[in-house]
């Protein structure tokens, strides 16, 4: 199943994506190109394992480190594509490699791996060919950078507050109306709109998730974080729970 978390800076995309992954499977792998995720899973009584290469990822899976908590792949910023290829070969070569056990993968900052006209072949395979037992959650700021494969094959969109062109893209994409536009434009921090692209005709297609304390975890807190310009800052907790 393909899921997308979209929203502006610091709305809580990564935190929600990790929650969705943990709900899906005890086996959670996180692609963390900005090294945003700290070892802050203790509250949930699990501990993250950090890996930096495909070989280390393979060893961590063989050692069943995923039973203790998420396995976090921290790529080298100067070789993002090669590192993602290594991850893809470990997890999806062939695509049905882990179909029986299933797992969930969070691909943070997924816009780095695709543009409207092109997508990294390995991500294309993951998006199109992952088995039903696998959940793929991609995170991005806006749908504008998105490749068609990611858009067409999406099962659900979790959209935080958006404005301007990004807002219009979402509303158009969801075939929404003025009411939806107003709702997305005025979402309070950490709330989001969930659109279910697989809803049956008689089911509710979209709703507002207004209890962020339900999916909060301190996963992205307490470490030095880099913004898009490369500046480092210590993140303050904005916990609402
Ligand atoms: N549901 C929530 N309730 C309260 N605080 C939250 C929630 N989700 C995230 N936060 C806090 O908001 C901050 C940003 O969270 P997170 O890193 O998940 O956002 P993001 O949208 O992925 O940010 P970025 O734009 O940097 O990728 C963190 O301090 C995090 O702990
Ligand atoms: Mg993030």
Contacts of 184 (CB under 8 A, 6+ apart): 159, 161, 162, 167, 170, 171, 193
Run of H or E including 104:
strand 103-107
Measured by CA distance, the residue closest to atom 13 of ligand 1 is 10
Residue 215 lies in a domain: yes
- Give the mutation target among 210, 222, 238, 241 for probing the ligand 1 site: most ligand atoms within 8 A of CB: 238
Measured by CA distance, the residue closest to atom 4 of ligand 1 is 239
Residue 228 lies in a domain: no
State the distance from the centre of ligand 2 to the C-alpha of 5, rounded, in angstroms: 9
Residue 238 lies in a domain: no
Residue 236 lies in a domain: no
Residue 240 lies in a domain: no
- The tens-digit pLDDT sequence of the chain (241 residues) is 999 999 999 999 999 999 999 999 999 999 999 999 987 775 556 789 999 999 999 999 999 999 999 999 999 999 999 999 999 999 999 999 999 999 999 999 999 999 989 999 999 999 999 999 999 999 999 888 888 888 889 999 999 999 999 999 999 999 999 999 999 999 999 999 999 999 998 999 999 999 999 999 989 986 554 444 444 444 433 333 3
Contacts 24+ apart (CB under 8 A), 80-83: 80/33, 80/112, 80/113, 81/113, 81/120, 83/53, 83/54
221 within ligand 1 shell (Cβ under 6 A):
yes
Measured by CA distance, the residue closest to atom 5 of ligand 1 is 239
In angstroms, the CA 130 to CA 217 distance is 27
Q: What is the DSSP letter of 237?
A: P
pLDDT at 144: 86
State the distance from the centre of ligand 2 to the C-alpha of 183, rounded, in angstroms: 22
- Starting from the CA of residue 15, give the closest ligand: 1
User: How many residues are present in the chain?
Assistant: 241
State the distance from the centre of ligand 1 to the C-alpha of 160, rounded, in angstroms: 11
pLDDT at 43: 59
112 within ligand 1 shell (Cβ under 6 A):
no
In angstroms, the CA 118 to CA 114 distance is 6
Per the structure, the count of domains in the chain is 1
Residue 210 lies in a domain: yes
In angstroms, the CA 22 to CA 28 distance is 6
Measured by CA distance, the residue closest to atom 8 of ligand 1 is 12
Cis peptide leading into 212, omega within 30 of 0? no
Q: Which of 9-48 are b and which e, b meaning 16 or more Cβ less than 10 Å from the residue's Cβ? A: ebbbbbbbbbbbbbebbebbbbbbbbbbbbebbeeeeeeb
Run of H or E including 50:
strand 49-51
pLDDT at 44: 59
146 within ligand 1 shell (Cβ under 6 A):
no
pTM above 0.85, yes or no: yes
CATH assignment at residue 32: 3.40.50.300
Q: Domain span at residue 190?
A: 2-221
Residue 6 lies in a domain: yes
pLDDT at 210: 98
- Starting from the CA of residue 7, give the closest ligand: 1
35 within ligand 1 shell (Cβ under 6 A):
no
In angstroms, the CA 25 to CA 102 distance is 7
pLDDT at 236: 38
In angstroms, the CA 102 to CA 155 distance is 17
Residue 95 lies in a domain: yes
């Amino acid at each position: 199943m393909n899921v997308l978390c979209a929203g502006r800076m610091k709305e809580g995309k990564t935190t929600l994506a990790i929650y969705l992954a943990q709900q899906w499977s005890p086996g959670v792998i996180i692609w963390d190109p900005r090294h945003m995720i700290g070892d802050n899973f203790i509250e949930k009584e699990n501990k993250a394992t950090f890996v930096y290469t495909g070989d280390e990822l393979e060893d961590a899976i063989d050692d069943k480190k995923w039973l203790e908590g998420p396995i976090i792949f921290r790529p080298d910023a100067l070789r993002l594509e090669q590192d993602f290829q290594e991850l893809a070969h470990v997890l999806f070569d062939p695509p049905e490699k882990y179909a029986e056990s299933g797992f969930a993968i969070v691909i943070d900052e997924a816009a780095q791996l695709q543009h409207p006209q092109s997508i990294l072949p390995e991500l294309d395979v993951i998006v199109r060919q992952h088995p039903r037992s696998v959940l793929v959650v991609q995170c991005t700021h806006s749908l504008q950078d998105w490749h068609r494969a990611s858009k067409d094959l999406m099962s659900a969109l979790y959209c935080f507050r958006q404005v301007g062109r990004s807002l219009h893209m979402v509303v158009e994409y969801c075939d929404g109306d003025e009411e939806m536009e107003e709702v997305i434009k005025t979402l309070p921090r950490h709330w989001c709109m969930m659109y279910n692209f697989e809803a049956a005709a008689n089911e509710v297609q979209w709703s507002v998730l207004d209890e962020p304390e339900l999916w909060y975890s301190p996963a992205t807190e307490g470490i030095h974080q880099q913004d898009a310009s490369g500046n480092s800052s210590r993140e303050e907790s904005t916990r609402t729970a």
